[in-house]
Structure 1
Amino acid sequence: MVSQAAVLFFPALMAFAAASDLVTMTISNKISLALLAGFLVLAPLAGFGWAEIALSLGLAFAVLGATFGMFAMGWIGGGDAKLAAAAVLWMGPSCALAFGLYAALFGGALSLAFISFRRLPLPAFAAREEWVARLHAPTTGIPYGVALAAGALVAFPQTAWFAGA
């Protein structure tokens, strides 16, 4: 029952983060904090051992450090950094690498899609939508939360959460 709740909770928040990043180019801290809180509540109830929880937390802090380095270099946004750390917390050590690889692949595809999208003229009906016009602007970054969410959703079924679902 607890794993089933997690199997609904995590994907829903990741999808919300992706949609939020796509439309507003921001990922609220509340999403990352909800993912952290959800993990801390559901993991012990799902039967995860304290060592496994601690290892997942340590991995998440390592990812947070690495992604904040990327943020400092201007490569990703701060919301992306926090979302990546919160997502890897749910992946655990066994799926963290898969998540990172999937997110990188989706990020590359997303970047190429945005490069192509920005080379095309924007139809008038789309230009009236502020968020579409913002995404079309060449000075706007890439909503990498979309790639992070896609990578997490592809890797998630391989995690221990599905063993008890």
Structure 2
Amino acid sequence: MSICVPRLSAAALVLAAMLAAPGSARADRCDDTAAQLKGQIEGLTIGKTVANTIYLDHPAAKQLRLGCPSRTISNELFATADSRKPQPAFFELVASAAAIVFTIPKPDTLRGAKRCIGRLGLLRGDDVKTRFRRLDIRCNRTKTEASISISRGKDE
């Protein structure tokens, strides 16, 4: 009986160390965030996970991705609209998702997204970087679509 107890405790320690690995904890938090997005945003579906990125799908966006934490950023939300001038449904989707991911009030994320897309044009060009409420927001526009990327650095 005394021989089995040390073996069981050693196996329990190895199992606990494997479960507490930092890589799996990050993935679990990112998966939890994606599940929270799916639960709170109507019409959102979760796609595949590739290279620390979870692909999402929603009718208001051509492309939607949730970037998991890395060495430099805590999270990243990337969305692409179908046209150069995104529809209000696109802004609502981006604002809702950013509010959930970064725990910021939705009106603030909506204002930051609209401000960034609104700055695209003749004077500032088709690639704009801005900061709003401790978020790094980057907007880009091509001839057929507009995209927005919202992230927060690890040090903030």
Structure of larger gyration radius = 2
| Pairwise same-fold verdict (TM > 0.5) | no
With structure 1 as the length reference, what TM-score do the two structures score? Answer: 0.31
More strand, by proportion: 2
More helix, by proportion: 1
Higher relative contact order (CA 8 A, sep 6+): 1
